[in-house]
A and B are shown apart, each in its own frame.
Chain A
Amino acid sequence: MAKTQSQTSPVVILAAAGLLVVVAVPFLFILLQAVYPQLGRGSLAAPFSALAAAFADPKLIGMTGNTLLLGVAVALLSALVAVPLAVMRALFRVPGALLWDVLFLIPFMIPPYIATLGWIMTLQPRGYLYQLLGFDLAGFLFSVPGIVFVMMLNAFPVIYFAVSRTVEAVGARYADVGRVFGATPLRAFWRITLPLSTPGLAASLLLVFSMAIEEYGTPAALGRRAGFDVLVTAIDLRVSDWPIDLPGAAILSLVLVALSFGAFLLQRWILTRKNWQTTTGKPQGGAKRALGPWTVPVVALFALVGFVATILPLLAILATALSRTISGGLAWQNMGLNNFAAILTDSTGALRALGTSLTLGVATALFAGLLGAVSAYAVVKSRARGRGLLDVLTILPSALPGIVVAVGLILAWNQPWLPMTPYNTVFILLLAYCCILLPQPVRYATAAFHQVGDNLEAAARVFGARPMVAFRRILLPLIAPSLLASMLLVFAVATRELVASVVVAPVGVRTISTYIWRQFEQGSVGLGMAMAFVTIIITTALPLIVLSLMGRRGNLL
């Protein structure tokens, strides 16, 4: 027994090494940059000199407050929309369930900056809504509620998928016990099923909060006009406004990290207070109940959310992509396939960008998924010392804005004394995406591990399985549905990641997002939207094909 105590499992070592390279190294260099303003030029002069100026900024408190407000509001509104849908999906036979799952998956595939631009083009004066129905909603869109609404539409699926899967795993079995002892169905749900689903809910709320405070596109496009400044927009200004203020950006990023870390501690406190294990090796009754008279209202609710979150933005993107000119508006003579033709004939390098991004997306999903699984294992299941630190490393990236990860990676990997470096190769993009997206598989796998009983691994070890074998043969398959779902999301998001790509893309390499963004920058909005539409179709279709080939579609979504 003493022997197993002193040996650290190879799974834990793998997790530690991966987290060190992917997260700790760039973060360390951001810390160093905050302390040593001249770090980029290889000098350690004037340590701490930038801190005073950054914290003396009178806008800092307001921006921090706005950031916090945005994160909490988006998380709460997302939960308000997602939890009822998820519970119905998990416990009842909802007609067209698979269709709703796919519809709710698509908001992930729509890059947030594209969705926001779609909403602007739909709701602004003389936008598509006005052209079709004669009124606009610009006043709502360019306001704080408008920002929260648009960001919620992008984020609520995180909670929907996490909670519906957790509730499904908890199943009706425990509630049935409550019913036997006389609880009403509602009471059994509130007192038994929902509390047991806390890991999924808490993890996904944390993820949405972190996504919202880190998101750049929507607050930048809508917030500036609402006079609503957040930390990310201020960080971007420091990094892109000459003279570049890398130390200032690094310091503001640390404030952002602190916010996210606070949320993380809260989540961990919730998760470690009780035992959430519901997957014990005993068979689970999988039967779902009929909705009965509630069928029509429930289906209407699913349809409404699907329409607003997915169909409307898709239509706006498609309409813009099909327009010959933006000023021509929604008129038949203004519609044409020129933009799609330009992409398919590769006259603007679009196909090469697609190939690069799709390859990177697959590679990121594999690496981040593996690292996420071993990290979650190390944190939840191992008794290794320092696993709290590993847990911190897994949550760090979700608090780091993409642009800061990018700068940290350049600072770290472009040191002249390094014998070899991924910098200026596509591997730097892979590192950046793995770092930024790691929290997705980690949170999903963590929630899944929390519900797997310790006795399963112990049983494997009793029968002689080494730690790596027990991990691969027993634990990994049990969390595979959650993990695979998160990897598909990682694939989709990595394929269209913008902010870090713009800064670290090696010379001569174009990704989908930098391609789209350059079209916008040079006034070719239609071409950019056509590329976005093609990307959304591909990133939605590929995971669905993968899932149906594996024949486990119903389980995974």
Chain B
Amino acid sequence: MMTTFVRASTAAAAIFAAQAAIADVTVYTAGPAALIEQLAEGFKAETGINIEFFQATTGQVMARIEAEAANPVVDVLISASWDTATDFTERGWLLPYTSPNAASVPDFLKTDTAVAQGVSALAIAWNPNSGTPRPTEWSDLTGADFNNLVTLPDPAQSGATFELVAALASSQGWDLFNGLAANDAIVAGANAEALNPVLQGAKAAVFGAVDYISLNGQAKGESIEVIFPASGTVIAPRPVMIMEWSQNQDDAKAFVDYILSDAGQAIVAGQNLMPARSDVAANRPLIADLTILPIDAAAVYASRGETLATFAETFAQ
């Protein structure tokens, strides 16, 4: 009886001790699961430091951080929207850190408190089996060939889609979106919900698809092509941030260094994202190959509510 009790207590204590030792750095990330898994594995192999991660959409990660704010758990945050970095900097939640490996990251992809892990861009994802002519421009999707065949991710749910809508609306007004609405385009939830009908052939093209997901699908043999309009698109850098409350700041910094190392950036490129470092190659179009629409982030986010309201009005039948 006594020995059983002692044994049980020892086992319980061991479990708690093991739990305490598990997480050296806790990462909350909005991004592909395979990406954070491989980064954690590579980092552990190189430094022996454990990474524990929580992976969800940007919104869910933020909800968790907001609810935890009285007693935060997260050390490193990787968001899919640069807006989070701006907002968290204003709140004073971020630790200033410039990684030595960030030297070749272009200036617009780094600040004192955040640096891009990788970059995705928005594109037209077109199904070549759909029987429609290959689109090359956003406005092609307002034509009769694409009547009732276009999906858009909801800008209220996808930060990147919001930036595309804001950038296109400010550079050419709402005509494009009026045309899409008149052409019976549908607004379909988050990115996956917009892409799925296009893959199955219910629709022909996504207006504003996140490129790496479609590129990964293409690599698996899906009938999908990723087209970047020459008139311009927006990019979605994915900022890495160290929280100022982190108890493991040195390990967190080492993890940021690893993400920006040759090995880390190769893992990023392996997921069909653009590496943040301009001197790392990838088997896909890079920032220099794309026309990027200028965005005045401060102005765009200040009028976010109005933009979303106008968008919703445009597509409300």
Binding site for B on A (CB under 8 A): 39-42, 117, 120-121, 124-127, 138, 220-221, 224-225, 227, 237, 239-244, 246, 324-329, 349, 403, 407, 410-411, 414-416, 424-425, 502-508, 514, 518, 520-525
Contacts and interface: CB of A to CB of B under 8 A. Distances in A.
B14 to A, nearest CB: 15
A179 to B, nearest CB: 56
A241 B81 CA distance: 12
Nearest to A417: B71
Given A127-B200, A508-B23, A508-B53, A244 B221 contact: no
A507 B223 contact: no
A508 B87 contact: no
Nearest to B193: A221
9 contacts: A39-B70, A41-B70, A120-B197, A224-B189, A242-B59, A414-B70, A505-B54, A508-B54, A518-B55
A349 B224 CA distance: 27
B202 A126 contact: yes
Given A242-B84, A502-B60, A507-B52, 19 more contacts: A39-B70, A40-B67, A117-B196, A120-B197, A124-B202, A125-B202, A224-B188, A239-B60, A241-B156, A242-B58, A329-B201, A407-B67, A414-B71, A415-B70, A425-B19, A503-B56, A522-B33, A522-B192, A525-B199
B59 A325 contact: no
B175 interface: no
Q: For the side of the interface on B, what is the size category?
A: 35 or more
B314 interface: no
B64 A221 contact: no
Interface string B192-230: 110111011111000000000110110011111000000
A39 B70 CA distance: 8
Contacts of B160: none
B146 to A, nearest CB: 14
B288 interface: no
Contacts of A503: 56, 60, 63-64
Interface of B: 19, 22-23, 26, 28, 32-34, 37, 52-60, 62-64, 66-71, 73, 81, 83-84, 87, 127, 129, 154, 156-157, 159, 186-193, 195-197, 199-203, 213-214, 216-217, 220-224, 316-317
A141 to B, nearest CB: 11
A525 B196 contact: yes
A244 B70 contact: no
B69 A42 contact: yes
Contacts of B68: 40, 410, 414
B247 to A, nearest CB: 13
A124 B197 contact: yes
Contacts of B214: 523
Contacts of B217: 325, 523
The 5 A-B residue pairs whose C-beta atoms are closest, nearest first, are: A240-B59, A42-B70, A327-B223, A126-B201, A410-B67
Given A240-B57, A242-B59, A521-B192, A224 B154 contact: yes
Contacts of A221: 189, 193
Contacts of A121: 196, 200
Contacts of A41: 69-70
Nearest to B130: A126
Nearest to A249: B63
Contact of A40 (B52, B69, B186): B69
Nearest to A515: B33
Most chain A CB within a 10 A radius of its CB, from B127, B193, B216: B193
Given A42-B70, A325-B221, A523-B192, A502 B202 contact: no
A224 B187 CA distance: 8
B129 A327 contact: yes
B268 to A, nearest CB: 15
Contacts of B216: 522-523
A327 B200 contact: yes
A326 B190 contact: no
Nearest to A528: B192
Given A240-B59, A414-B67, A124 B200 contact: yes
Given A411-B67, A502-B56, A326 B222 contact: yes
Contacts of B316: 227
A126 B200 CA distance: 7
B160 to A, nearest CB: 12
Contacts of A326: 196, 199-200, 222
Given A126-B201, A327-B199, A240 B26 contact: no
Contacts of A120: 196-197
A407 B63 contact: yes
A415 B197 CA distance: 44
Contacts of A403: 63
